[in-house]
Structure 1
Amino acid sequence: MELLSYIFWNPDDTLLRIGSFGIRYYSLCWLAGLAGAYFMVKWLYRDQQIKESLFEPLFLYCFVSILVGARLGHCLFYDPAYYLSSWDHFVEMLIPMRHLADGSWKFTGYEGLASHGGTLGLIIGLWLYCRNLKMNIWTVLDNIAIATPITACFIRLGNLMNSEIIGKVTDVPWAFIFTKVDQYPRHPGQLYEAIAYALFFFVGWFLYKKAKTRVGTGLFFGLCLTLIFTFRFFVEFTKDIQVDFEAGMPLDMGQLLSIPFVILGVACMKGGKWMGRLGAKQ
């Protein structure tokens, strides 16, 4: 393989350091993704003439539920043998610190977040939001779904900056050599996902402009789940395994966890079409 034809990828994962404190690109990508979704949903609420007072608590519900869900998803789906092996490790699952061998604690941030857990956490958080504020859950889910691919896109860009969730070794001309990992050209799976999620946002936005009245039927929520997790299922074939126990499995954990979300997405889309026809007859 001719290494000169590939992209050598070795960025500093930290944008700015102040003493021992650093601002990492991954954190900034998370914030950018959440901010993009925040302003998108705010615009949607205004466009649909939903009271601004109902929007204000939404960000807190989403932020907390995504973070908690993504963290628990990573720990319980991908590394339960570690996090459930002792009380100290269990505590590490809940706080952004790691217990060192000398007995001290080190701030690490939340190293390890799973998108499937984040999605499940978000759904639970939105259910609580709708219950407490007396909102139509399908209206909220559809609006969040239109904006969600923005966040997903930026999160994968953060993974790219961290040189994590790397792809399998390949000889495609656009392969990346993640020099922090090894010297082999690999699929930039993070970039594949980021580009796909950006496209999915424009698909949802185009559909919203054409069929705004379908918000509240579950159609947009179902479309978002179906597009993202169908793509996630197939892009996993280009990725290297994330944890050792996936070796030898016919489908990796990411694929297994994607299947229920695809089924849920298709069911919601079918329900959305049925409700749309029902509304047209009335």
Structure 2
Amino acid sequence: MHFLSFVWDPSKGIDLGFFTLHYYSMMWIVAFVLGLAIMKRIYKHENQSDASLDSLFIYSVVGIMLGARLGHVIFYQPELFKEDFFSIFLPFSFKGGIHFTGFQGLASHGAAIAMIVSMYLYNKKVLHKSVLWILDRVVIPVASGAVFVRLGNFINSEIIGKPTGSDYGVIFKQLPQDMQVPRHPAQLYESFSYVFVFLILWYFYWKTNKSEQQGFLFGLFLVLLWTIRFCVEFVKEAQNAERADWALNTGQWLSIPFILIGLYFMFVYKPKTELS
């Protein structure tokens, strides 16, 4: 009997009769709504229009969700391209009949890449400043959103940690019986750590002049978030064993380039001076 363990067996969501409102989906909604509120305050401080903020919200939601989904499929579940193609883009599984699944299987690496691409398009079509100007600011609400996404993963009993090998840990009752042992709550480790990423970025934006150093806040975000991701992967079960059985796992290998890019923008990058 595990006296120091915590048994986790929540419902997946609220049953509304015709479909279930998943708590995981609600966490994404909270992430985007909170992010909008944070960005609204930043845009007011920067004297940007409400219209440009509305466009930013649309570009962010579409870009991040699409990138997160494609990232998961490409890096962890590429067989879906052949076996159940439309399930990649729709909240349904069509394999063996039509089943409502909600939007699940989202990868943060894909979301990060899509965020950069969508901000490039947003800047080109709407903002007309520089990509790094918007990236330096949008990473603040993104960091706050990451807190709730990982809480959603915990609620779903997914992206689980490895067994602790002791009585300490969380027992995920929704896992198969042979996997119901005390495990590291890896999702909570990440979620708690991302709170500090948000607070650090918030401090540097409001209390220092680092927002004027183009690329610094974006680089700081990459270094902090992906270093945390890299470290937590050591106590996290591999999402795809076939892709994670050599030296480091897939998540760690994918994190390293982001950390290096972040260091570059923090300490090496020099913006091009505009000719008058």
Query: TM-score, normalised to structure 2's length?
Result: 0.92
Deviations 1:59-115 (A, max 9, x none): 0000000010000000111011x21334xx2222122211132xx322212220001
Range that drifts further, 57-66 or 256-265:
256-265
How does 1:1-282 map onto structure 2 within 5 Å?
Answer: 2-14=1-13, 16-80=14-78, 82-86=79-83, 89-101=84-96, 104-133=97-126, 134-171=128-165, 174-181=168-175, 182-212=179-209, 214-215=211-212, 217-271=214-268
Q: Using the alignment, how far apart are the partners of 1:197 and 1:31 within structure 2? A: 18
* Corresponding letter in the other structure for 2:141: A
CA RMSD of aligned residues (A): 1.9
Q: Using the alignment, how far apart are the partners of 1:108 and 1:69 within structure 2? A: 18
* Corresponding letter in the other structure for 2:202: W
Report the 3-state secondary structure (helix = DSSP H, G, I; strand = E; otherwise coil) of the residue aligned with 1:4. coil
Q: Using the alignment, how far apart are the partners of 1:231 and 1:217 within structure 2? A: 23
Range that drifts further, 240-249 or 155-164:
240-249
Deviations 1:182-213 (A, max 9, x none): 32100000000000001111111111122246
Q: Using the alignment, how far apart are the partners of 1:55 and 1:271 within structure 2? A: 30
Would you say the 8 A contact 1:218–1:271 is kept in 2?
no
Q: Using the alignment, how far apart are the partners of 1:178 and 1:231 within structure 2? A: 23
Q: Using the alignment, how far apart are the partners of 2:40 and 2:242 within structure 1? A: 42
Report the 3-state secondary structure (helix = DSSP H, G, I; strand = E; otherwise coil) of the residue aligned with 2:21. strand
Report the 3-state secondary structure (helix = DSSP H, G, I; strand = E; otherwise coil) of the residue aligned with 2:3. helix
Residue 270 of structure 1 deviates from its aligned partner by 1.5
Q: Using the alignment, how far apart are the partners of 2:17 and 2:213 within structure 1? A: 49
Cα distance change of structure 1 residues 231 and 12 upon mapping to structure 2, 3 Å threshold: same
Residue 148 of structure 1 deviates from its aligned partner by 1.3
Residue 244 of structure 1 deviates from its aligned partner by 2.8
Report the 3-state secondary structure (helix = DSSP H, G, I; strand = E; otherwise coil) of the residue aligned with 2:102. coil
Q: Gapped runs of 5+ residues in structure 2?
A: none
Residue 57 of structure 1 deviates from its aligned partner by 0.6
Aligned residues: 269
* Corresponding letter in the other structure for 2:143: P
Report the 3-state secondary structure (helix = DSSP H, G, I; strand = E; otherwise coil) of the residue aligned with 1:113. coil
Cα distance change of structure 1 residues 22 and 215 upon mapping to structure 2, 3 Å threshold: farther
Identity of aligned residues (%): 36
* Corresponding letter in the other structure for 1:9: W
Would you say the 8 A contact 2:25–2:102 is kept in 1?
no
Residue 54 of structure 1 deviates from its aligned partner by 1.8
Q: Using the alignment, how far apart are the partners of 1:77 and 1:69 within structure 2? A: 12
Q: Using the alignment, how far apart are the partners of 2:65 and 2:213 within structure 1? A: 26
* Corresponding letter in the other structure for 1:75: V
Would you say the 8 A contact 1:136–1:216 is kept in 2?
no
Deviations 1:230-262 (A, max 9, x none): 110111000011113135221111111111111
Query: TM-score, normalised to structure 1's length?
Result: 0.90
Range that drifts further, 187-196 or 45-54:
45-54
Q: Using the alignment, how far apart are the partners of 1:54 and 1:216 within structure 2? A: 23
Would you say the 8 A contact 1:8–1:178 is kept in 2?
yes
Range that drifts further, 166-175 or 124-133:
166-175
